[in-house]
Structures are given as C-alpha cells and as structure tokens.
Amino acid sequence: MQNHIDYGTTTIPYNLTYSNRKTLEIAVYPDQTVWVTAPNDADLEKVEQRIKKRASWIEKQKRRFSRFEQGRDTFEYVSGETHLYLGRRYLLRVNQVSDDTQESVKLKGKYIRINTHKKHDSRRVKKLLDKWYREHAKDKFAERFDYCASYLKKFDIPATQYRLYKMGKRWGSFTSNGEILLNPDLVQHPKYCIDYVIIHELCHTRYPHHDTNFYNLLNKVLPDWQKRKHRLEGFNS
C-alpha cells in the first residue's frame, strides 16, 4: 500500500506493509523508495508520526542514493573491467582472434574471457557478452523458477509461464495476461536475489496489484524479501 507524508515543502511517498513484528521498521532503498513495515495492529496515524520524525534521515538517504545513481560507472567493455555473474565479480579479458577462429565467451577461473574478431569494437564485445548472459539466464532461471514454484505450492500459489525480456529498470514484471517477464541481466546477481524476483512475480498470480493483500502474502512466503530486494538493488554499491 503506497501512502505519502508532507515534510515541509516536500512530499515523501512510502510503501506500507504489515507483518507479525513488534516494532516499526523504516528502510530507504537504492532506488530511493521508502518502505515501512509496521506491526499488524499499528495505527496509521502513529505510523505516520514515526515517519515524520525520521523524515530528515529519509531525505538524507535518498540524496545519498541519488548521488550514487548519477555517478554509476558505465562499461567500456575492455580488459580489466569487472562484471558480475551470479553475484560474483569477474575480470574481463578481451582477446583478438583471427577471422577464421570462432568468437566465444567463456567463464574460466576469475575471468570472463571474450575472443572476438573486433577487440576494440566495444559494441561488438557488449553484444557477445549480452548473448552469453542471456544463454546462461535461460538455464539458471529455469532451475530457479522450478525451485521457487515447487516451494510455493504449499501456499497454493500456481505456477505460470515466464520468458526473458530485457527491461531498462525492472528485474521482473507480471503482465495483464498472466505472464511473467524476467530481465536476463538478473543473472548477474546472487541466486537468492533471483529467487526473490521470481517469488515476487509468482505472488502476483494471486494478487496482481501491489496492495495490502499482496504484501501480506509476500511477507508470509518470504519474510526476508526486503533484505533480498535491498541487496539486489544496491549490489553494485
């Protein structure tokens, strides 16, 4: 459930969920969203009073994450860069090969080795690496999706179809026709983060919108989902 409070001339939107906890928790995530988890019997007015007391801290955190986002590194796709796969960092090694040698991307030791006909063509190197990520995402997501769907059976959450779909700022999505979309770039992150995204989207098969019912269900099936979300969105920090 999304609400907002007024703080001076600023409006602070926040997402409110309830759980079986005794204290109220306020968290600001790297995407600058504010999440409040309150005890099930918490009064909304008192919740907002607590948020207003922390408003200065909330704004400070949002500014910090905003500066981080503006200064996020961009890749040049050259040797020496670090790239992620399943939450681990690997050094990129870009090698020039002759035209009669097949181009390839291989994970070996602490390196992602790219053999290409055009070593200095960053667009070509990126294309090869993106293809490699997508191929590995197919296998890894199939494994994790089966695991998550099996785990959620005891909560009467039905499985559905999913497909890979490149998205600019989203890791997953649940479409109006009941299909789950997963961003292949998600394969760069740890398995428990992949599981969070899959479980999040599977919960939408019961409750399509981000309402109280949805978050109550997510809290039930994955109590530490906020920590996983935080790690996913702030992993590069």
Give domain limits for the chain. 2-70, 82-132, 138-233
Whether residue 216 has pLDDT greater than 50: yes
The amino acid present at 141, given as its one-letter code, is F
Question: End-to-end alpha-carbon separation of the chain, Å?
Answer: 28
Q: 138-233 maps to which CATH number?
A: 3.30.2010.10
Nearest in space to 237 (alpha carbons), one of 62, 73, 25, 58: 73
Placement of tokens 């995407």 in the chain: 31
Residue 214 in contact with residue 203, Cβ under 8 Å?
A: yes
Whether residue 236 has pLDDT greater than 50: no
Residues in the chain: 237
Whether residue 211 has pLDDT greater than 90: no
Does pTM surpass 0.75?
A: no
Whether residue 71 has pLDDT greater than 70: no
Q: Please state, rounded to an integer, the average pLDDT across all residues of the chain.
A: 88
Q: What CA–CA distance (Å, rounded) separates 27 from 25?
A: 7
Nearest in space to 95 (alpha carbons), one of 132, 137, 134, 124: 124
